Amino acid sequence: MKLNQIDWGDDSAEKDRFLLNYFVESESFRRLTKKSKSLIIGRKGSGKSAIRRKLEEHFSKEEDTYIVNLSPKYTSIRNILNDQDITKNYGEEIFFQHTWLRQIMLDCLCKVGDDSKGKYIKDSIEFARSISIQLNRTSKDIVENIVEILNKIKVKAGKLGDLGLQLERELRNVADVDSLEFHTKKLSDDGAKFVILIDDLDLGWDNSDTANNLLLGLLSSINYLMALSQNIYCCIFLREDVYSILMNKTQHSDKYRNIERIRWQKDKLLEILNERIQFNRKQNNLSLAEHPFISVFPETVGTHNTINWLIDKTLSRPRELIQFSRFYSETVDDEFPNDQMLKECEYAYSIWKLDDLCSEFSNQYPGLNNIFSYWKTQFFRQKYHLKKEDVDNMLFQVLDDVHFDELWYKQIQSAADTDKLLNILYEIGFIGDFIQGGVGGNKIVYSFNEYHKPRFTEMQIHPCFRKAVSTVDRMKKK
Average pLDDT, the chain: 89
* Residues 388, 415 contacting (CB under 8 angstroms): no
Q: How far is CA 304 from the centre of its chain?
A: 31
**What pLDDT was estimated at residue 194?**
97
Classify residue 164 by burial, with Cβ atoms within 10 Å: 0-12, 13-18, 19+. exposed
> Rounded to 5 degrees, what angle do the CA atoms 144, 233, 166 make?
50
* Residues 398, 425 contacting (CB under 8 angstroms): no
Q: How far is CA 108 from CA 56, 139, 187, 192, in A?
A: 15, 9, 10, 10
Higher pLDDT, 246 or 472: 246
Q: Is the pLDDT of residue 430 over 70?
A: yes
**What pLDDT was estimated at residue 476?**
46
**What pLDDT was estimated at residue 145?**
81
| SS3 readout for 31-60 | HHCCCCCCEEEECCCCCHHHHHHHHHHHHH
* Residues 321, 269 contacting (CB under 8 angstroms): yes
**What pLDDT was estimated at residue 144?**
81
Higher pLDDT, 319 or 449: 319
Q: Is the pLDDT of residue 136 over 70?
A: no
Q: Is the pLDDT of residue 17 over 70?
A: yes
CA separation for the pair 345, 325 (Å, rounded): 9
**What pLDDT was estimated at residue 135?**
53
- Torsion sign across C-alpha atoms 383, 389, 394, 395: positive
Q: Is the pLDDT of residue 290 over 50?
A: yes
Q: Is pTM, for the whole model, over 0.85?
A: yes
User: Average pLDDT in the 169-184 region?
Assistant: 90
Please report the DSSP string for 149-204 in residue order: HHHHHHHH-SSGGGGGGGHHHHHHHHTTHHHHHHHHHHHHHTT-EEEEEE--TTTT
Least confident of 38-42, 340-344, 437-441: 437-441
Q: Is the pLDDT of residue 139 over 70?
A: no
**β-strands 385-387, 458-461: how paired?**
antiparallel
Cα-Cα end-to-end distance for the chain? 33
71 C-beta neighbours (distance < 10 Å), count: 15
CA separation for the pair 264, 261 (Å, rounded): 10
pLDDT digits (tens, 9 = 90+) for 219-278: 999 999 999 999 999 999 999 999 999 999 998 899 998 899 998 999 999 999 999 999
User: Average pLDDT in the 438-457 region?
Assistant: 79
Q: Is the pLDDT of residue 120 over 70?
A: no
Please report the DSSP string for 92-135 in residue order: -HHHHHHHHHHHHHHHHHHHHHHT--S-S-HHHHHHHHHHHHHT
What is the percent of the chain with per-residue pLDDT over 70, rounded to a whole number? 91
For residue 41, the cross-strand partners are: 238, 261
Q: Is the pLDDT of residue 34 over 80?
A: yes
pLDDT digits (tens, 9 = 90+) for 404-415: 999 999 999 999
**What pLDDT was estimated at residue 137?**
44
Residue type, 419: D
Q: Is the pLDDT of residue 149 over 90?
A: no
**What pLDDT was estimated at residue 131?**
64
User: Average pLDDT in the 191-206 region?
Assistant: 93
For residue 461, the cross-strand partners are: 431
CA separation for the pair 104, 218 (Å, rounded): 10
